[in-house]
A and B are shown apart, each in its own frame.
Chain A
Amino acid sequence: MAQSSFIDIITPIMVGPSSSHTAGAVRLGLLARNVYDASPHKVTFRLYNSYAQTGFGHGTDKGLLAGVLGFAVDDKRIRHIFEQPEAKQIAYEFQYLEDFNRHPNAVDFIFEGDLNMFVAGDSVGAGEVVIRKINEFSVKFTGKFNTLLLVYRDVPGMISRVTKVIQEKNINIASLHCDRYAKGEEASMCICVDGELDEEILKLIEGIENLYLVRYVRKLEH
């Protein structure tokens, strides 16, 4: 059986009041920010189900915005995030919806700016989160591993070309998730790795043909 750690029981240090509705919201925001990796003009947050119903009392809206702005889960300024100078530099909007096909704690981030992007994720309990969708692609990563995200033209050999670069640097792949729009059109790849991908590896990967988007999303501090 996988060995658990007592450190998990006596951490994280976080701002309250809820690990799923506050700390989880910040962590989802942080991951979405790293996926977007640019300065948005506007962010629209769509909160679903329990996030929509009890988000007000849990500061879920504040947590999501704080994450997108790069605040850590234990930053006491989150309570007054709307008054922070960082929050005044972008436009943002919150929408509250019900959709029982979605997770009880689901959220969409709609980024508008020089690049437009849609990111969706769930807060799955105890502060753990999963990013499920980027634009129209399904993905799956949790912020527990350093993750390489790729959007590319669906041509034969793409997975082997990318994983070859990673393997040649002797880095282990923890999980691999692929999805595509239609044969020969856009596809996505989500690779969680043990260890770090350095500048050199990322350069090599960026050099591969038919790639539209490359993002290296670092794991979240616990």
Chain B
Amino acid sequence: MIEKDINSFEQLYKACNIANVSIYKLAQTREAYLSEKTENEVREIVKRSLEAMKDAIKSGLNSNELSLSGMCGADCERLQKRFQRKPALFGNTFEKITAYALATSEENLRMGKIVACPTAGSCGIVPSVLVAVGENFNISEYEQINALITAGEIGRIVSNKVALAGAVAGCQAECGVASAMSAGAVCQMLGGSNKQILNAVALALKNLLGLTCDPVCGLVEIPCVKRNPFLAIHAVTAAELALADIESKIPLDEIVDALEQTGKLMSPTLKESSQAGLAKTKTALELEKSLFKK
């Protein structure tokens, strides 16, 4: 019998220990029970999201079409060209993660098909890490699905306390949570224990507290698109540390509390309203003027 009422990471960790299962297994059993589906049906839904992520990466890598505003859309092509000329300092997995994250985010702003995971603005982070590590370390599709379930369960528990929306808690709740979800997914794929997975999530999230949401012209473009590859790499840093058994001194649930409090204290002008920060810089105001002329 598996515990169904799980609203905190501590509950999750304890329930996994009692049942002696991985996070993904507990999450998939719980989901099947609550939605009156079989575990295979649940995994089938997850597989559809995974496939849509891979399709978005593929389309994004092969396009340089600009967004509707014309502000972004050609950076993934630039990055790929550079890596063809000169390999990345940190090797092929780094190249793939950054390129896949840009590919997905650019696909999003040109109205391509993406998975909002957890949101559209942060849609490049989880897929880039999941697919790049999956490819380069021979992770089977079965195990990739396990990792995506792990990521989803992490996002779910955070969302029990804080809505994953820039308007509610800033970008820490969108790209920040996406990065934390990815850190957990990488640990899962590389054989990390439940403890290591949750530490990876804690380390990733802790280092993104306070990230604001100040999109230029109110569009999901600047700084959102380029923020995706940055926070994808951030997730890998967290996973590497956690796999070395480095622990977050502050427990994960308390970090989520801090995220919620930081979101509440954050000025509304920095929560998706484009009234401060990058959105009110001189250049942003000029961009706004030229856009509204169109």
Indicate whether B256 reaches chain A with its CB closer than 8 angstroms: no
Identify B117's interface contact among A5, A9, A15, A58, CB under 8 A.
A9
Structural contact, B111 and A17, CB atoms closer than 8 A:
yes
Indicate whether B153 reaches chain A with its CB closer than 8 angstroms: yes
Indicate whether B266 reaches chain A with its CB closer than 8 angstroms: no
Tell me the bound Cα distance from A101 to B52 in angstroms. 39
Supposing A4-B160, A5-B35, A57-B218 touch, asked if A16 and B120 sit within 8 A by C-beta, the answer is yes
Supposing A6-B27, A57-B67 touch, asked if A17 and B34 sit within 8 A by C-beta, the answer is no
Q: Return B179 CB to nearest CB of chain A, in Å.
A: 14
Q: Quick one: which of A98-127 are within 8 Å of B by CB?
A: 125-127
Indicate whether B7 reaches chain A with its CB closer than 8 angstroms: yes
Indicate whether A54 reaches chain B with its CB closer than 8 angstroms: yes
Q: How large is the interface on B (under 10, 10 to 19, 20 to 34, 35 or more residues)?
A: 35 or more
Indicate whether A185 reaches chain B with its CB closer than 8 angstroms: no
Q: Return B57 CB to nearest CB of chain A, in Å.
A: 14
Indicate whether B25 reaches chain A with its CB closer than 8 angstroms: no
Indicate whether A1 reaches chain B with its CB closer than 8 angstroms: yes
Tell me the bound Cα distance from A7 to B153 in angstroms. 8
Identify B165's interface contact among A1, A50, A125, CB under 8 A.
A125
Structural contact, A6 and B217, CB atoms closer than 8 A:
no
Identify A12's interface contact among B68, B116, B121, B217, CB under 8 A.
B116
Tell me the bound Cα distance from A18 to B119 in angstroms. 8
Structural contact, A9 and B159, CB atoms closer than 8 A:
yes
Tell me the bound Cα distance from A126 to B35 in angstroms. 21
The majority secondary structure among interface residues of chain A is mixed
Name the B residues within 8 Å of A18 (CB-CB): 120-121, 220
Name the A residues within 8 Å of B35 (CB-CB): 5, 7
Q: Quick one: which of A70-85 are within 8 Å of B by CB?
A: 74, 76, 78-79
Closest to A54 in B: B218
Indicate whether A190 reaches chain B with its CB closer than 8 angstroms: no
Structural contact, A19 and B219, CB atoms closer than 8 A:
no
Identify B153's interface contact among A6, A50, A57, A127, CB under 8 A.
A6
Query: How many residues of chain A are within 8 Å of chain B by beta carbon?
Result: 35
Name the B residues within 8 Å of A59 (CB-CB): 68, 111
Structural contact, A3 and B4, CB atoms closer than 8 A:
yes
Supposing A7-B31, A10-B155 touch, asked if A16 and B68 sit within 8 A by C-beta, the answer is no
Structural contact, A16 and B108, CB atoms closer than 8 A:
yes
Indicate whether B42 reaches chain A with its CB closer than 8 angstroms: yes
Structural contact, B49 and A10, CB atoms closer than 8 A:
yes
Supposing A16-B120, A53-B218 touch, asked if A10 and B111 sit within 8 A by C-beta, the answer is no
Using a CB–CB cutoff of 8 Å, the interface residues on chain B facing chain A are 4-5, 7, 27, 31, 34-35, 42, 45-46, 48-49, 52, 67-69, 107-121, 123, 126, 148-149, 151-153, 155-156, 159-160, 163-165, 167, 181, 217-221, 291, 294
- Additional pairs, 8, CB under 8 Å, beyond known A9-B181, A19-B116: A1-B7, A5-B34, A6-B156, A10-B115, A10-B118, A10-B126, A58-B219, A79-B110
Closest A-B pairs by Cβ, 6 of them: A16-B108, A6-B152, A9-B155, A79-B111, A54-B218, A57-B219
Using a CB–CB cutoff of 8 Å, the interface residues on chain A facing chain B are 1, 3-19, 22-23, 50, 53-54, 56-59, 62, 74, 76, 78-79, 125-127
